[in-house]
Chain A
Amino acid sequence: MIRLVPDHATLINRTACVEFEFDGRVVTGHAGETVLAALMRAGIRHLRDAPTDGAPRGAFCCIGLCQECLVQIDGARIESCRQIVSGGLTVQSLGRPADG
């Protein structure tokens, strides 16, 4: 089929892979990208539960405003769209049954 907008997916070269943990699950990302990007490509969209009704939530504004993609890293709450991936990072979701 004729494409006027070419598929560039294969032309994107990323830096070396690093592994980090999200709620105990090993996720592969690339050094320098956001935690959110790595989680999205791993198909993980459910990032936390709303504190009020417990409903699943995930990234929404992707620019650090809405606080929907908040995760816990080293005891601090941080937007996963503003946190850069590094190897060995331990990321926990907020309000999921796993962390009580």
Chain B
Amino acid sequence: MAEIYDIAIIGAGPAGANAALTASEQGCRVVVIDEQSKAGGQVWRVKSAAIAKAPDTPETVAGNALRDALSISHAVHMSDTQVWQIEREADDWAIYVLAAGRSRKIMSRALVLASGAREFVQPVPGWTTPGVVGLAGATALIKQDMTLPGQRTVVSGTGPLVFFVASEVRRHGGTVAAIVTPNHRTEWLRAMPFMAARPDLLWRGSIWIADLMLARVPIFWGYAVSEVSGGDTVTSVEVCKLGPYGAPIGRVSTIHADSVCLGNGLIPAIEAAQLAGVPLEHRPDLGGWVPRADSDGKTSIAGLFVCGDSAGIRGAAAAEIHGKLAGLSACAFVGKGPSVAPVGMQRRYARAARFGMAMTALSIPKPGSDGLTTPQTIMCRCESLTRDDITTEIAAGAQSSNAVKSGLRAGMGPCGGKFCQSAIARLIAKTEGRPETDVPPPTPRPPLRPVPTAALAGDFDYADLPIPKPAPL
């Protein structure tokens, strides 16, 4: 018999953990399922058990407070647990999870999705070379294991993350070979009025940039990494200037480095919402395709709520409040707590979201940025498919992400399309001269995470298998 909870929450980052805290305070039976060992999500990822002692950062402090609150709450925290399928079962939700190599089912009346985000990386020649990691990926390595991707690193990407990572590389004793950002200083100036709402972050960011300038780290504004060279590991990186629409326009410089962090902003992780049947909408200002939802997390599907970055990239501060709002909405659905969230909470959410969206705006892909992906560049890492392979398929009549996926397997490999589908959808739109809103992501299929067959089969004795008598010859 599967366990039945009032509310199941997927993801224990700032949104999911706050949804869990809020709902359990209202007397609901709550389970929060998360693939990490401790709560905190990517932004407040806990340090590994191998770190006996290290200086605290604002992220550690915020994460520890959240983890402490969750540990004394009544919410059940299933850590190291991956969700691989979500189904409706009568009026309830059936959530199939994988933990310690075994699959099992969890039942709940309401479901809150707080599955966070992953990063978008525009493919460039050589981005599959060992030593190239995602920009957000580097933060995971650094926050959890206090380990750098190399000794001399080119840090490239959009928004504030590129300066955070560069500063963390220096704090951990590494060398930043260069900072490469497609953003121009004018774009940052436009974001300033919104940053005034967060003087703490504005100050922290100013320290990062001042420190990098004092250390004479070259900062390439309005540039992108155009090629990574190396065999078994990165040896050098080429950077090029970008035109007004983000297309590469030459003036190439070469930088020697043994590692590269590459990122073009975050995109909401929407596969769980798609599996649950939530309609999507295209919102580049929120990181791309997002599940359609109200500011209190309600979707058009009864008993299903979304919050945090998986509902649109608005950042950690907004996610905390959004989680509380969605938690209250889920409580109301199961008949507990106030039917309307406090007005002040809505107002604080709107304010935090405005700041977060000003940061997201720095990562909206520019129309020409796909020019960085040359015809021979691998787009689908799992199947080693190049841009040429994909455009040939489009020319042969593949007009949707699903068609490219079934024709070429781009999106059917082990990653499930998580690192190719955004670039491929944009390529289809561009090649066909259609708007990006016309090319939604492919239909997600379970498993959402790779599931070993043994986990599905479970434990059994061969002797117990019913074997029919062989038919007479």
Q: Which residues of A contact B (CB under 8 A)?
A: 1-15, 29-34, 36-37, 40-41, 45-47, 50, 52-53, 55-68, 70, 76, 81, 84-85
Contacts and interface: CB of A to CB of B under 8 A. Distances in A.
Given A11-B55, A31-B50, A34-B144, A52 B383 contact: yes
B418 A33 contact: no
Given A12-B172, A45-B131, A55-B384, 10 more contacts: A5-B208, A11-B54, A12-B53, A14-B50, A29-B50, A37-B141, A37-B147, A40-B149, A45-B259, A84-B48
B131 A58 contact: yes
B308 interface: no
Contact of A30 (B50, B119, B450): B50
Nearest to B416: A65
B289 to A, nearest CB: 17
Nearest to A11: B55
Given A45-B232, A58-B130, A5 B207 contact: yes
B419 A60 contact: yes
A58 B258 CA distance: 13
Chain B interface mostly helix, strand, loop or mixed?
loop
A2 B213 CA distance: 11
A15 to B, nearest CB: 5
Contacts of A53: 384
Contact of B133 (A55, A56, A60, A85): A60
Interface in B331-389: 381-384
12 contacts: A5-B167, A11-B53, A13-B53, A13-B54, A40-B149, A45-B150, A50-B128, A55-B128, A56-B232, A61-B119, A62-B138, A70-B414
B118 interface: yes
Given A1-B215, A8-B171, A67-B414, A33 B130 contact: no
B170 interface: yes
A79 to B, nearest CB: 9
Nearest to B384: A52
B207 A4 contact: yes
Contacts of B141: 36-37, 40, 59, 62
A14 B172 CA distance: 14
